[in-house]
Structure 1
Amino acid sequence: MTKLRVVVLGLSLSSSWGNGHATTFRALLRAFTARGHDVLFLERDVPWYAAHRDLTSPDFCRLELYSDLKDLDRYRDVIGNADAVIVGSYVPDGTDVGRYVQRLANGIVAFYDIDTPVTLAKMERGDYEYLSPSLIPNYDVYFSFTGGPTLDVLMERYGSPAARALYCSVDPKSYPILDREKRWDLSYLGTYSPDRQPTLERLLIEPARRAPHLRFAVAGPQYPEGTDWPENVERIDHVPPDDHPTFYAQSRYTLNVTRADMIRAGYSPSVRLFEAAACGTPIISDIWDGIETLLEPANEILLASKPEEVIDVLATWPEDQRSAMGQRARQRILAEHTAAHRAASMERDLHEAIRHRRQEQPFALAVES
């Protein structure tokens, strides 16, 4: 296909601290540029990411920082001349950024929502932090972290011309199977979120209390001081992406926990789901609609709702059964859910939007004349 010049304005590419956006963008854009496209990533320079940058000079795209909306004007020519401009969710002043891009861009404009259920819940409350309903019809494509019925909501209720699922993914070269001694029976990797905490309590902390002979780990920043962690739960403040494969390799099982809005919407897989499966680490997950379309329950992933279900797996599953499930999950991910799959999907949808725009332009010119 024709080479595309793409500008992405996303939450972060440079820092994976406290967010899953960076690893998602890294995998996706690396695979996308490998298909021959040119990408400029524009990131708002904010102090909390500046203090934790783990990628300053990517080898797959250009990365540049801007200080505010006024400073973004330095890139008005490249935004105006791009074939496609993609604005991401949770971009600071994202609603104003979206208006700016829609006004300036001569190519197509798209929104990539890595937080779709959260975004829709915020808009329902009148919270337009990074997206407002009035912007959605003017995004040629709405790439959504969430698939299923939510895509119909975006098109039928909010007027998106084209809502397309663009799930998170994984670069299998960056997430290989490693041979490491097991440190934990069950681990969890994720930034603290109040609406995830009850599930973490139920499926990891309570099992740790009931099985003091087993070992657990919770890795990720922003957990409140004074949290009552059992003695057999190891706390790790941050695991850089380069160390994720080792973290998973040291885990007999790992836990997937989903935010409440995403459980209600369904079809909202976390990037950690794909990363852990690519590493061959068996996953125990909470339950939500659509998970069976990604990994087959009881064959490629385990679903649990009670502490005793988790403890039963940790205590009774033999090693060959555990390992076989991890291998099956990895095979499914490599066959359907790599960054290369997502990049090809995004490429098709961008080209389709460009074709649609070109088909509309002659009609618009005829009306004007």
Structure 2
Amino acid sequence: MKIAFYGSSILSSYWNGAATYYRGLLRALAAHGHDITFYEPDAYGRQENRDIDPPDWCRVVVYAATPQAAGAAVAEAADADVVVKASGVGYADDWLLGAVLDAAQPQAVKIFWDVDAPATLAELHADPGHPGHAALLRLDAVLTYGGGDPVAEAYRRLGAAECVPIYNALDPSTHHPVAADQRFAAALGFLGNRLPDREARVEQFFLEPAARLPDATFLLGGSGWGDRPLPENVRHIGHVGTRDHNAFNVTPKAVLNINRASMAETGFSPPTRVFEAAGAGACLITDEWPGIDLFLKPGEEVLVARDGRDVVDLMAGLDDERAARIGRAALAHVLKDHTYEQRAVLVDALLHRHAGAKRERASA
């Protein structure tokens, strides 16, 4: 099928946590024979901070963040068999969803792909006049990258015909074990941009433990932390491109995942970092959230912390041998059960099911 996909960016992970998700899923879908074009706006400095070249498995169209350029990109949806609008594109999001649906041919499968369901649902619940309410009634399905049954049920109550979680996963061709790199040497590493919905949790799970363990080195990667006072043993290295994620994950004794507050409360929302770390064979410590055991086994494949004191205790009891054992177990599990190829099988079947149903209705 010919797929027109409107998202934030596939070329850059700069201020764009969905990049790994898009790359893994769309590469796997292309291997199933789909002809994919990804449309992304030139916004937030992402084009100046690309970390991959345009891929051979997906055509990429970068359009200026102007009404005229966005309109020209949207018009191309008319040629697609499947039209996907993702959340958080970063330019005229509400307009873009309606415009893409208007441009799509009647028989096209129409998908809203929500990469931040807690935020989207909060907006919809707060505003009965939000244009997303009308758009839901025109869609064939909503796909989300997390949230599980609670999110799916919330979308159905709002009028979505179908809502299916398509969880983050591992692309073994991009995230895999590598040699340690002393640029990233530390006892504990955390990689994440500074966001209002996460900063307090970074303070609790990362900065407070660093202050309690002054003899250990803590490594902080990600954008936005430059003007934030940090403990002396925290080394901030700024944005880390995806090509360096494997080395960042395997070099410290352990790496930390900290969900945004809304994601942690919703649960069933493993971020890309979980699978990147597991795919590299890293020892991962994650904050606690409902559903973690659906993806990794606590205590054996991942260490789970309820608060910063737990992080301190986990680090105190973690030697190199145990860290390596946890990393190996996590890698084996995600390779077996949580790859983007497995996620793509679900998406491919869903697209063919909806396309077939549309053809039957048209011929009836």
State the shift of 1:75 in Å: 4.5
State the shift of 1:127 in Å: 9.5
1:113-145 Cα offsets, whole Å, 9 max, x none, are 11111111122233989x612111211111111
Distance in structure 2 (CA, Å) of the matches to 1:109 and 1:307: 43
Secondary structure class of the residue paired with 1:347: helix
Sequence identity (%): 31
State the shift of 1:320 in Å: 2.0
1:146-194 Cα offsets, whole Å, 9 max, x none, are 2222101111x11111101111222112111123167111111111112
Cα distance, 1:300–1:128 mapped onto 2, change above 3 Å:
farther
Letter in 2 for 1:33: A
Distance in structure 2 (CA, Å) of the matches to 1:272 and 1:278: 10
Structure 1 unaligned runs (5+)? 364-369
Cα distance, 1:76–1:51 mapped onto 2, change above 3 Å:
closer
Quick check: 1:9 aligned with 2:6? yes
Name 1:103's counterpart in structure 2: 102
Secondary structure class of the residue paired with 1:164: strand
Secondary structure class of the residue paired with 2:27: helix
| Residues 252, 282 of structure 1: 8 Å contact kept | yes
Quick check: 1:58 aligned with 2:93? no
**TM-score, normalising length from structure 1?**
0.91
1:81-230 paired onto structure 2 within 5 Å:
81-91=79-89, 92-106=91-105, 107-126=108-127, 132-146=132-146, 147-155=148-156, 157-180=157-180, 183-223=185-225, 225=227, 227-230=228-231
Distance in structure 2 (CA, Å) of the matches to 1:66 and 1:181: 37
Distance in structure 2 (CA, Å) of the matches to 1:195 and 1:248: 23
Name 1:315's counterpart in structure 2: 316
Distance in structure 2 (CA, Å) of the matches to 1:330 and 1:344: 21
| Residues 201, 260 of structure 2: 8 Å contact kept | no
Cα distance, 1:77–1:229 mapped onto 2, change above 3 Å:
closer
Letter in 2 for 1:275: E
| Residues 28, 341 of structure 2: 8 Å contact kept | yes
Structure 2 unaligned runs (5+)? none
Cα distance, 1:45–1:307 mapped onto 2, change above 3 Å:
closer
State the shift of 1:26 in Å: 1.2
Letter in 2 for 1:209: A
Cα distance, 1:276–1:38 mapped onto 2, change above 3 Å:
same
Q: Which residue, out of 7, 14, 18, partners 2:15? A: 18
State the shift of 1:77 in Å: 6.0
State the shift of 1:362 in Å: 4.5
Distance in structure 2 (CA, Å) of the matches to 1:341 and 1:236: 34
Name 1:79's counterpart in structure 2: 77
Quick check: 1:39 aligned with 2:39? no
Cα distance, 1:48–1:77 mapped onto 2, change above 3 Å:
closer
Cα distance, 1:66–1:128 mapped onto 2, change above 3 Å:
farther
1:66-116 Cα offsets, whole Å, 9 max, x none, are 223432443566411211011111122122111112122121110111111
| Residues 122, 128 of structure 1: 8 Å contact kept | no
Secondary structure class of the residue paired with 1:192: coil
Distance in structure 2 (CA, Å) of the matches to 1:103 and 1:256: 39
